[in-house]
Amino acid sequence: MNSRHIEIFHHVITVGTVSRAAELLRISQPSASKAIMELEREIGFALFERVKGRMVPTVEGQLLHREVEASFVGMSRLKAAAARIRDFGAGQVRFACLSAHSTTLAPVAFARFRIHHPDIAVTMQTHMSSVVRDLVISGEFDFGLAADEIDLSGVEARPFLRSRAMVGLPPGHPLCDHDVVQAGDLNGFDFVALAPEDTTRKEADAHFSACGSAPRIVFETPYSSTVCAMIAAGVGVGIVNPLTAEIFRDQQVVLRRFEPAIHFRTLLLTSPHARPSRVVGACIDAFKEVAQSFARRFS
């Protein structure tokens, strides 16, 4: 099994599109698509369904990715540890982040941190919130940002950022004419949903149930960025984190206020057994400062 094909498969599932995966890997989109097809031929089953030009993971593809993700976590730890020891010794910050903030808040915070600490190496990995928690508990990473649906046993968690959920709409959707979208307005529309365990999803579902609204779930994912990508592609509407949706505005994701108000809540995770170093503390402070400015825009 070609390791490069596995890497491309992992990126396509993680970011939600072949084009974005190809961009991150610095390869052409046709090369990425060819790699996926060759991998499917080799293993003997389809990893994705081609739906209106989109790559939707099959059940078998999702099962395989669980195994791939576990192996990637282990290999990433080994590679990162070797690189840090080789290049930077102890001058480092290790941070894990949920995908919603990895391309929005985190880059701004790290840029601010580097103004005063240009020689400090930073390692960041993007994972589901439960994996972020495990990396912090294990001591592999110094701190993390995670959604609030996780089990907090064994980790110190503090409120970090609260952002009001919006409705994301494809251009030309009938609800684009609304300034505010009520829960009842989404009844019957194709809907791109977050994972069932997501607390914002649960809040939205409660409001849908209370008013007798039943959006038709056509796609489900734990990643906010994937929700936005599916909306941009015209798959359906969805409840989105405005921080994540910000980078999709150029792809014409239309945002509208959702009523009743629900929120995305992010936690800052640290180990209760080890006090952060001064460098790690400075990095956390930079994140808090940026979070405050984001909160003013999106709360």
Encoding tokens for residue 124?
Answer: 């960041």
- CATH code for the domain of 21: 1.10.10.10
Q: Span 96-124, mean pLDDT?
A: 90
pLDDT band at 265 (very low <50, low <70, confident <90, very high): very high
**What was the pLDDT predicted at 206?**
96
Q: 144 and 185 share a domain? A: no
Asked if residue 155 lies in contact with residue 136, where contact means CB atoms within 8 angstroms, the answer is yes
Establish if 78 belongs to a structural domain: no
Say whether pLDDT at 86 is over 50: yes
pLDDT of residue 145: 96
* Residue 84 reports pLDDT greater than 60: no
Question: Is 149 in the same domain as 115?
Answer: yes
80 falls within a domain: no
In this prediction, residue 89 has a pLDDT band, given cuts at 50, 70 and 90, of: very low
**Cβ 33 vs Cβ 46: under 8 Å:** no
CA distance 261 to 194: 17
In a domain, residue 210? The reply is yes
Lowest mean pLDDT among 145-149, 264-268, 277-281: 277-281
What is the reported pLDDT for 88?
Answer: 44
Mean pLDDT of 233-258: 88
Give yes or no: residues 151 and 198 share one domain.
Answer: no
In a domain, 76, yes or no: no
Q: How confident is the model at residue 268 (pLDDT cuts 50, 70, 90)?
A: very high
**What letter represents residue 249's amino acid?**
R
> In total, how many domains does the chain have?
3
The pair of three-digit structure tokens given for residue 147, joined into one six-digit string: 């959604």
State the Cα–Cα distance between residues 299 and 163, nearest whole angstrom. 5
Q: Are 216 and 232 in contact (CB under 8 A)?
A: no
Same domain, 186 and 156: no
Domain boundary among 34, 67, 100: 67
What CATH number has the domain bearing residue 216?
3.40.190.10
Residue 72 included in any domain: no
- Quote the pLDDT of residue 95: 93
Question: Structural domain of residue 220, as residue ranges?
Answer: 166-261
Average confidence (pLDDT) over 58-75: 81
C-alpha dihedral sign at 243, 249, 252, 254: positive
For residues 179 and 251, membership in a common domain is answered with yes
92 and 8 within one domain: no
pLDDT tens track for 166-190: 999 999 999 999 999 999 999 999 9
- Grouping H, G, I as helix, E, B as strand and the rest as coil, residue 172 is coil
Q: Does one domain contain both 282 and 139?
A: yes
Provide the 10 A C-beta neighbour count for residue 194: 26
C-alpha of 223 from chain center: 4
User: Based on the domain organization, do 125 and 272 belong to the same domain?
Assistant: yes
Which of these, 151, 150, 148, lies nearest to 161 by C-alpha position?
148
pLDDT the model gives residue 39: 86
Asked whether residue 128 falls in the same domain as residue 271, the answer is: yes
Judgement on whether residues 23 and 61 belong to the same structural domain of the protein: yes
- pLDDT at residue 250, rounded to an integer: 62
Residues 247 and 271 in one domain: no
